[in-house]
Structure 1
């Protein structure tokens, strides 16, 4: 039989059109059928099989080994001690030339395999060979995970900050916790009794302006008695944290040495109880009591009354103090000032961008030592006159860039004009008068006070600024 002609082929085709691949207009979308119960069961089973090692480790890993005992002493003269007495999940920890080396271990602690007593003293020598500093120790951790206990950091955050942190390096400060309680009308409240500090609270105490010097060996002592954790460096108290829920017991009883990117060397480690590892704190240099002070700078040199953290940026010219390129490194008055006081001085600049700055009720020694592109957090109250290219003035509590500042917008500094500034503090209220007129007021619900907040300093960023006729008087009752 011959092939059908074209017309015959057409006649043999079905009379109904072939179904279209596109849904017709108005046709409702139907959800594809999902997995059946059996399918879901198979999928869950596969996941459990694949993840079984991790799940088993998380649930049943138990306590870390205890190969060593307290009291413990180690001079790292034996290379095999790392493998014998310690444990780490990462980092090429090793002994070299009688010292323990942490070569950029990226926050992988080297845990001592010994259970710590609740009251403990830890001492060692340590140095960082890189300018980054960032020496870290973990105390009362779980022996495996970083940030599982107390983390002590000397020269962290670009070598600008030292902290004792409870379970989180980036936790809010204890000072911020107190301020939050004060905003709720509970100033000077017991944080534990009021519920602001709980067992799972993550918090830290911090100290600024104590950078680690590359190549310098520091002697650390950490001790805890009861709830009080204290940290000394070279015999001087660095920081302390009184924890109402002290971390202790199984799962919170290990010591870890740590670091991040620095090359850190450790030696002469000793661990014992505080009574069996005696310690005498270095005596503090005597300081004069807070009181009045006056300076007209009418001399050739600064003298012993002042401490310049950036000596090349300050000088005396024609009976006035001149600062330039200070980069937030204050010149501190060594004598403490009263908590409630009146501070007066003259200030001027020939630069139309203004930017006149002083710091009051700071710690008397801190300064900015980090990347100049990053912000500076002060230890006291910062008074900024015509900052940000003479567009804004502010009273800031430590941080110049937060929303809790008192701010006044607009140009304020008149180039070449000698302005008179008067600052008055009464408790948590700070008032600023400019040329005899009210200018700004800040009310702090948790005022900065105490031994680390009783100093005054002249500061600045870049511009050339003149200061003169400083007078500090206790506030009249």
Structure 2
């Protein structure tokens, strides 16, 4: 009996031990916080952050009025690169002078402020161009000299080059029409007039206007042409702020509570992602810097036109934006390597009209292009690797190496264009084009057959959209027998 028990005991000792049963956590088991940094570690981290951010913290807490290192009248041609540091101030952006021009290279809405107080009544003029198709030329007037959107913001070709605005305190502010409707409702509630907004006057608007009111006026269908130099003039007399481009009135705003005095007395040149060049800046009083009024051009009514190009020179009827790429050969207009610089007909064309012509190329790449109902003067002069934004409708036959044809509203790369895939241009063949427009419907017939149709819910029209131009990219293209006729009412 004793031996048996001894053997059983030995077997138990020789057998491998079984794992201990798992202990499930109970509700009373407390969570233990992992060991973190000590107080000394936190103190070191805080001190490091303070040292790195001290300039910004000091600026935010103790900044005073903007510095003054220049005076009005002010003239600057940016021949001296040192002028940026001497006469201007910015909190960001690599502003610099390159070959006699001031460059804003994607400054992300960090204005370069002129360190000179503006008089309440002022005239500001300068030349400016954007080298990118996004446009987005920005300027601020009567700001505080430090913060963006602290005054009036003027944006040409903003919002993906779809709209220009003159805004008070915020370029994204509501349109002034919303303010007019609110003023009309208030006047109607008081029994002064009907609540329809149709006859809202300055007194009505002033009744709903406050010192911090954010509002804007806007213009659509006025894109910035990449590479084109514009001449801006900004003028304020009393409460009326006027903005003109190339001598033509563009936008204006009559402010019931004009921004002026300390905190609203600086000029800032600005931009966002575009590469913008500024030059020939002048700031003075409106009387000492009067607006240059160009003699009015003779008014030519839109009407029919025909041209067979059977002559030696193109003549004064056409605006050639790339002379080296344009010539007359054997009674036809020939463009080659024109790079979206149209040959514009100077005579305006009717809104509702038919446009017919012959076109051909010997190139297998195709790419026959024209622009219709554009502004009659714009062209592309930027980086040839970038996109071109037209001012009117673009008709492309056999583009993209003869793989696709399209009708596009301004931009030939946007999804709202209409397209037709497949090789189209037959090298050496004279193709006959017939373009017909009635209001927002544009139809294209090719060689007597329907080809493409575009329906535009917001048609391009008016004085800025009444010209026709032959265009192209690289291919050598011939044009002949142009005929433009107005449609019967």
Q: What is the aligned counterpart of 1:403 among 415, 425, 431?
A: 415
From the superposition, tell whether residues 81 and 365 of structure 1 become closer, same or farther in structure 2 (CA, over 3 Å): closer
Change in Cα spacing, 1:452 to 1:474, as seen in structure 2 (3 Å) is: same
Structure 1: distance between partners of 2:324 and 2:303: 29
Take 1:465 and 1:31, find their aligned partners in 2: how far apart are those partners?
Answer: 80
Which moves more between the two structures, 46-55 or 301-310? 46-55
Q: How does 1:62-461 map to 2 (within 5 A)?
A: 64-65=65-66, 67=68, 72-74=72-74, 87-89=89-91, 111-116=113-118, 120-123=122-125, 138-145=140-147, 164=156, 173-174=162-163, 190=177, 199=214, 206-208=223-225, 211-212=228-229, 221-224=233-236, 226=239, 228-233=241-246, 236-237=247-248, 240-242=250-252, 248-249=259-260, 251-256=263-268, 269-272=282-285, 274=286, 278-461=290-473
Q: 1:423 to 1:87 in 2, by over 3 A?
A: same
For 1:208, what is the secondary structure of its paired residue? coil
Q: Which runs of 5+ in 1 are unaligned?
A: 1-14, 18-23, 153-162, 177-187, 213-217
Gaps of 5+ in 2: 1-15, 166-174, 183-212
- Aligned counterpart, 1:184: none
CA-CA distance at 1:287 after TM superposition: 4.2
3-state SS of the aligned residue for 2:46? helix
Q: Does the CA contact (< 8 Å) of 1:138 and 1:149 recur in 2?
A: yes
Q: How far is the alpha carbon of 1:294 from its aligned partner?
A: 0.5
Instruction: Go from structure 1 to structure 2 and tell me whether the alpha carbon gap of 1:61 and 1:277 turns closer, same or farther (over 3 Å shift).
Output: farther
CA contact (8 A) 1:210 1:366 kept: no
The verdict on how the C-alpha distance between 1:35 and 1:381 changes in structure 2, with shifts beyond 3 A counting, is farther
In the alignment, the residues of structure 2 paired with residue 92 and residue 323 of structure 1 have an alpha-carbon distance, to the nearest angstrom, of 40
Distance 1:32 1:303, change over 3 A: farther
Q: Is the 8 A contact 2:349 2:467 kept in 1?
A: yes
Note closer, same or farther for the CA distance 1:364–1:81 as it changes in structure 2 (3 Å cut).
Answer: closer
Pairwise CA RMSD of aligned residues?
5.0
Deviations 1:276-304 (A, max 9, x none): 75434222332422111001112222111
How much has 1:368 moved relative to structure 2? 1.2
Q: Structure 2 vs 1, CA of residues 420 and 63 (structure 1 numbering), >3 Å: closer, same or farther?
A: farther
Please report how far the alpha carbon of residue 93 of structure 1 lies from its aligned counterpart in structure 2 after TM superposition: 9.7
Whether the 8 Å CA contact 2:76–2:279 is kept in 1: the answer is no
Match of 2:168 in 1: none
1:4-23 aligned at under 5 Å gives the runs none
Q: State the alpha-carbon separation in 2 of the partners of residues 253 and 149 from structure 1.
A: 8
Q: Using the alignment, how far apart are the partners of 2:85 and 2:387 within structure 1? A: 42
Cα 1:147/1:75, change in 2 over 3 Å: same
TM-score, normalised to structure 2, is 0.66
Distance, in Å, in 2 between the alignment partners of 1:41 and 1:242 is: 58
Contact 2:353 2:485 in 1 (8 A): yes
* Structure with greater Cα Rg: 2
> Is the 1:109–1:257 contact (alpha carbons within 8 Å) kept by the matching residues of 2?
yes
Answer whether contact 1:140 1:247 (CA < 8 A) is retained.
no
Distance 1:437 1:83, change over 3 A: closer
User: Would the aligned equivalents of 1:343 and 1:424 in 2 still touch at CA under 8 Å?
Assistant: yes
Displacement after TM superposition at 1:312 (Å)? 2.1
Post-superposition offset of 1:122: 2.1
Length, aligned pairs only? 409
| Matches of 1:94 and 1:387, distance apart in 2 | 39
Note closer, same or farther for the CA distance 1:81–1:351 as it changes in structure 2 (3 Å cut).
closer
Partner Cα separation in structure 1 for residue 341 and residue 96 of structure 2: 38
Deviations 1:44-98 (A, max 9, x none): 993885577467457545663375899x324689x99999976455799999xxx
Closer, same or farther in 2 for the Cα pair 1:82/1:411, shift >3 Å? closer
Tell whether 2:488 aligns with 1:476. yes
Deviation at 1:355, TM superposition (A): 0.9
Q: Give the C-alpha shift of residue 247 in structure 1.
A: 8.5
Report the CA distance shift for 1:310/1:280 in structure 2 as closer, same or farther (over 3 A). Answer: closer
Question: How many angstroms apart in 2 are the aligned matches of 1:265 and 1:347?
Answer: 41
Structure 2 distance, partners of 1:122, 1:361, is 32
Measured in 2, the distance between the counterparts of 1:401 and 1:262 equals 23
Q: Distance in 1 between matches of 2:244 and 2:225?
A: 15
Cα deviation, 1:303-339, whole Å, max 9, x if unaligned, reads: 1111211122222222222222111111110111112
CA distance in 2, matches of 1:115, 1:318: 62
Kept after mapping to 2: 8 A contact 1:350/1:415: yes
Residues in 2 aligned to 1:418 and 1:247: alpha-carbon distance in whole angstroms: 62
